[in-house]
Structure 1
């Protein structure tokens, strides 16, 4: 059977991304992002080919483009201009508060880094009216894309989270029924109880729709 050079070198790109992020070992990266050590090591040494869904997770953690990591398409790093950060998805199109990635906005859309933000910042664009009272249709929601576990100071606040079902959500973070799990309260819609979180991030800025339209830099 003819070897697939893209698949064969996928694990090498994963190792390159991990080293570029500053992690000397696969175990150190797995521990930092809450991944199973054996699973990650198998993905990086080529014993187990990882999916595009997993590539998106790894790419987000290491700050590279998932298309490059998965099939060597395009440059390794996102094309961002100085002082700008990517608009990575849209949120609020339904009451569940699910973030839809790479949907509804042109690839490469950028927004200025918010006051106090860093080069780890990312933005979400609000679509629809299910987040009324937090952010209106067309607003920008900024967060620091650090991929770190939730902290006590996030409790009671609307934050960006990823749950173990691969969904990224914008929810109010509340204590769950026991340690290690959290309730996620929607702006509109039911509360999700006892969710397991992979990471959580404070919202650092919300830009109203009128101003958001003025500051977004389109892909073209």
Structure 2
């Protein structure tokens, strides 16, 4: 028999999940490092707000008005994704979730918590699932220099044929997140991963892969990056 949690997940619609993701982004952009911090600051029931943000309990338009007023976004956008997020034209922000190029093996060092969260504007064409990685060091020279930002959509979907031959972000079945060129493997279900300055990793099984949607050079990356709560 399915658990209550799995039954609840099965009932979630794409609209519900998009709504909860917009709420999470609005909360982060407003400078609240966690759902608990936002709920306590505004006197909301902590469990209710957490369920609204993770999609287990879709919130009403009335609550979208309350959340929108608290986070500085339009309730129409928060509830249905309609129009701009803000009246004042401020860019929506997304988190910088880790560093790439800092390890010799090319793996991404992911942030483990929300404290000191860095934020950067959503790139052109980006969605509420956009995230960014900061390049550290010179191992990705020719693609992205030290200090650059690499954006991708954090959708956690399997590789697609149009990714072959492209530099993408991937997660392996051994829990590594990497930025590599994706090449067809020796058999179905595996891929080879090419680096700019490291040996090819052959026949790797992947959990997901994501296209790089934008690369921002270091000078501009420094200008557009801010800290949550700043």
TM range (shorter): 0.5 to 0.7
RMSD, aligned α-carbons: 3.2
Distance change (3 Å), C-alpha of 1:130 and 1:20: farther
Query: Could you tell me how far apart the structure 1 residues matched to 2:113 and 2:147 are?
Result: 12
Query: Could you tell me how far apart the structure 2 residues matched to 1:153 and 1:138 are?
Result: 28
1:88·1:122 contact (CA, 8 Å) conserved in 2? yes
Query: Could you tell me how far apart the structure 2 residues matched to 1:101 and 1:21 are?
Result: 28
Query: Could you tell me how far apart the structure 1 residues matched to 2:105 and 2:113 are?
Result: 17
Query: Could you tell me how far apart the structure 2 residues matched to 1:127 and 1:105 are?
Result: 20
Q: Does the residue aligned with 1:97 lie in a helix, a strand or coil? A: coil
Quote the residue 2:136 is aligned against.
127
Q: Deviations over 1:148-191 (max 9, x none)?
A: 00001100010000000011100000011111100001121111
Quote the residue 1:144 is aligned against.
153
Q: TM-score, normalised by structure 2?
A: 0.62
2:174 to 165, 172, 195: 165
Runs of 4+ more than 6 Å apart:
11-16, 78-81
Q: Deviations over 1:83-107 (max 9, x none)?
A: 1111111101134221111169963
Query: Could you tell me how far apart the structure 1 residues matched to 2:101 and 2:127 are?
Result: 25
Q: Deviations over 1:112-168 (max 9, x none)?
A: 000011111110011111111111110000001111000011000100000000111
Q: Deviations over 1:59-82 (max 9, x none)?
A: x9xx89xxxxxxx96564499986
Larger Rg: 2
Query: Could you tell me how far apart the structure 2 residues matched to 1:80 and 1:137 are?
Result: 33
Pair 1:22 & 2:13 matched: yes
Distance change (3 Å), C-alpha of 1:20 and 1:97: farther
Query: Could you tell me how far apart the structure 2 residues matched to 1:129 and 1:104 are?
Result: 26
Aligned residue-pair number? 165
Distance change (3 Å), C-alpha of 1:110 and 1:190: same
Gaps of 5+ in 1: 1-10, 24-59, 65-71
The residue correspondences of 1:1-220 to structure 2 (distance < 5 A) are 18=9, 22=13, 76=50, 77=53, 83-102=92-111, 107-219=116-228, 220=230
1:94·1:130 contact (CA, 8 Å) conserved in 2? no
Q: Does the residue aligned with 1:170 lie in a helix, a strand or coil? A: strand
